């Protein structure tokens, strides 16, 4: 947009130079041209501007003279201001979080080595289904621990062999040996089999790491095959990009009772929010509020800071204009441009308050019917 304005100023300057020069051709008599009346400059224009053609310029009173042709090239659009009662809003700081109902986290249940799953090591952005095997966790132990486990396994195998022989002898003497002793021998034999299986699994087998939810891998913490991890270490995080939420902190504990609607602004992206609920315990002297993002295809990421705009049941008097109408002038003051005449624009310093992610309420600085520039205001502010 800035390059467009620069090219436009250069073009109008060239036209002025060509028009100001005297071009003689043939044997025509130009002695009477000087007697023609010079064009009248706009009110407040600088001296000498009357000899130049109509062009974009800043007048002495700070307003702008913008010809109709230039207005079309800059794409200026205006909207009449209507003063009325608007819903008062409160701005809160928030951040994007995963929806607790559709997100999950995979942690190591014990210290071990991570091995690739059936589809390789999970990478960020990969789609996964609930219950899918993401990777395998093979336990690691010191030489002493492994020796103790193997010794225990050998002992269990010996006990299992003795129990197996006892069961076979009792089965051959069935009728001479009480049935109660035969059942006890069988139960002991089955218990030893299970103990041996568990001990053997703790030495060599790997535990599958399953996806707790359906979504995409949002973080894998740079895991590689064979990496040793500690118990409770977070390995993978899964989120559903279509089901995200926003958590905001409010210093007014009663805001939930007056809340009507809410929206959020993530950089230049407007998000529509649905209020889910508020906590009952302060965090950092503020009350956490939870909202669900209902906007389709919202391009935001987990952890991204947002500005949450909460609309309450209270009212204020002002004019609603798009957020794009606001511009900065002077020493960082907020202002809007008003179309006062056909080719004249005046800057108005205003006091505003957010209405939602896309609109603001002008509480002071505008009058009923003022035509406010809602597109191209930034280009007008660049004119010097």
Q: Give the start-to-end residue ranges of the domains of the chain.
A: 77-98+242-381, 105-239
Predicted confidence at residue 4, as pLDDT, reads 52
How would you class 313 by CB atoms within 10 Å of its CB: exposed for 0-12, middle for 13-18, buried for 19 or more? exposed
Q: How is 207-236 classified by DSSP, letter by letter?
A: EEEE-SSSEEEEE-TT--TT-EE-TT-EEE
- The crossing angle, in degrees rounded to 10, of helices 179-204 and 143-172 is 160
How would you class 363 by CB atoms within 10 Å of its CB: exposed for 0-12, middle for 13-18, buried for 19 or more? middle
Predicted confidence at residue 34, as pLDDT, reads 39
Q: How far apart are CA 91 and CA 262, in angstroms?
A: 10
Of 161, 76, 86, the residue nearest 153 (C-alpha): 161
Output the CATH code of domain 105-239: 2.40.50.100
Paired with 372 in beta bridges are 79, 338
Beta pairing class for 112-116 and 333-341: unpaired
Q: How far apart are CA 311 and CA 219, in angstroms?
A: 34
Predicted confidence at residue 14, as pLDDT, reads 44
Predicted confidence at residue 54, as pLDDT, reads 56
Predicted confidence at residue 3, as pLDDT, reads 55
Q: How far apart are CA 384 and CA 382, in angstroms?
A: 6
Those residues of the chain that have pLDDT short of 70 are: 1-54, 143
Q: Count CB-CB contacts under 10 A for residue 365.
A: 18
- For CA atoms 139, 144, 145, 148, the dihedral sign is positive
Q: How far, CA to CA in Å, does 269 sit from each of 99, 200, 265, 266?
A: 20, 55, 6, 5
Predicted confidence at residue 166, as pLDDT, reads 86
Q: Count CB-CB contacts under 10 A for residue 366.
A: 21
Contacts (Cβ under 8 Å, ≥6 apart) of 308: 91, 92, 93, 94, 246, 248, 262, 263, 264, 273, 289, 291
Helix (H, G, I), strand (E, B) or coil at 155: helix
Predicted confidence at residue 61, as pLDDT, reads 86
95-147 confidence digits (pLDDT tens): 999 998 889 999 999 888 999 999 999 999 999 999 999 999 988 877 677 77
Predicted confidence at residue 319, as pLDDT, reads 92
Identical fold between 77-98+242-381 and 105-239? no
Q: Count CB-CB contacts under 10 A for residue 216.
A: 15
Predicted confidence at residue 305, as pLDDT, reads 94
Output the CATH code of domain 77-98+242-381: 2.40.420.20
Helix (H, G, I), strand (E, B) or coil at 311: strand
Would you say 348 and 335 are in contact if contact means Cβ atoms under 8 Å apart? yes
Which segments of 231-286 are extended strands (E)? 234-239, 244-250, 259-266, 269-278
Paired with 311 in beta bridges are 89, 261
């Amino acid at each position: 947009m800035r390059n467009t304005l620069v090219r436009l100023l250069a073009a109008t300057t060239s036209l002025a130079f060509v028009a100001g020069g005297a071009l003689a051709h043939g044997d025509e008599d130009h002695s009477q041209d000087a007697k023609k009346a010079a064009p009248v400059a706009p009110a407040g224009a600088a001296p000498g501007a009357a000899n130049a053609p109509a062009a974009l310029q800043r007048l002495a009173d700070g307003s702008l003279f913008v010809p109709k042709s230039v207005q079309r090239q800059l794409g200026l659009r205006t909207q009449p201001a209507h003063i009325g009662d608007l819903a008062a809003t409160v701005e809160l700081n928030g951040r994007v979080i995963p929806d607790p109902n559709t997100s999950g986290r995979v942690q190591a249940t014990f210290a071990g080595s991570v091995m690739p799953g059936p589809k390789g090591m999970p990478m960020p952005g990969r789609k996964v289904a609930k219950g899918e095997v993401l990777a395998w966790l093979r336990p690691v132990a010191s030489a002493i621990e492994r020796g103790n486990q193997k010794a225990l396994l050998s002992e269990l195998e010996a006990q299992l062999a003795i129990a197996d022989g006892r069961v076979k002898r009792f089965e051959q003497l069935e009728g001479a040996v009480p049935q109660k002793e035969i059942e006890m021998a069988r139960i002991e034999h089955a218990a030893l089999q299970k103990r041996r299986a568990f001990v053997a699994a703790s030495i060599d087998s790997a535990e599958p790491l399953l996806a707790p939810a359906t979504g995409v891998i949002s973080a894998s913490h740079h895991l590689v095959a064979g990496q040793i991890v500690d118990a409770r270490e977070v390995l993978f995080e899964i989120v559903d990009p279509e089901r995200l939420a926003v958590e905001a902190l409010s210093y007014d504990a009663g805001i939930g009772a007056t809340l009507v609607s809410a929206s959020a602004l993530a950089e230049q992206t407007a998000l529509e929010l649905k209020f889910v609920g508020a906590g009952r315990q302060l965090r950092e002297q503020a009350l956490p509020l939870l909202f669900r993002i209902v906007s389709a295809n919202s391009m935001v990421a987990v952890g991204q800071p947002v500005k949450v705009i909460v609309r309450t049941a209270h009212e204020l008097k002002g004019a609603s204009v798009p957020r794009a109408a606001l511009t900065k002038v002077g020493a960082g003051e907020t202002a809007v441009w008003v179309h006062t005449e056909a080719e004249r624009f005046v800057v108005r310093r205003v006091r505003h308050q957010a209405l939602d992610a896309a609109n603001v309420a002008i509480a002071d600085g505008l009058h009923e019917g003022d035509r406010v520039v809602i597109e191209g205001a930034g280009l007008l502010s660049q004119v010097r």
